[in-house]
C-alpha cells in the first residue's frame, strides 16, 4: 500500500427527502444480494488492512 493517500470528502448541505430515504431502504436488500458473496469479500479485502480513522 502506498504511504501517501488522497481522500475526497463531499459535504452536502441539503437534507435528504423522505423519498430518497425510502429509495435507499428499498434498494438495500437488492444490493445485499449482489454484494454479500465471497467474490466481493475478496475484492474489498485490502480495505481491512487500512488503519481506522
pLDDT tens-digit map of 13-27? 888 889 888 998 999
| More confident: 52 or 34 | 34
Q: Which residues of 12-45 are buried (b: 16+ CB within 10 A; e: fewer)?
A: eeeeeeeeeeeeeeeeeeeeeeeeeeeeeeeeee
Mean pLDDT to the nearest integer, 27-47: 90
Predicted structure pTM score? 0.42
pLDDT surpasses 60 at 1: no
Q: Answer whether 1's CB lies under 8 Å from 49's CB.
A: yes
pLDDT of residue 51: 83
Amino acid at each position: 500500500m502506498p504511504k501517501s493517500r488522497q481522500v475526497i470528502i463531499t459535504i452536502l448541505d441539503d437534507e435528504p427527502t423522505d423519498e430518497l430515504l425510502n429509495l435507499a431502504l428499498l434498494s438495500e436488500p437488492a444490493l445485499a444480494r449482489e454484494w454479500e458473496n465471497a467474490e466481493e469479500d475478496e475484492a474489498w479485502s485490502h480495505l481491512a488492512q487500512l488503519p481506522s480513522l
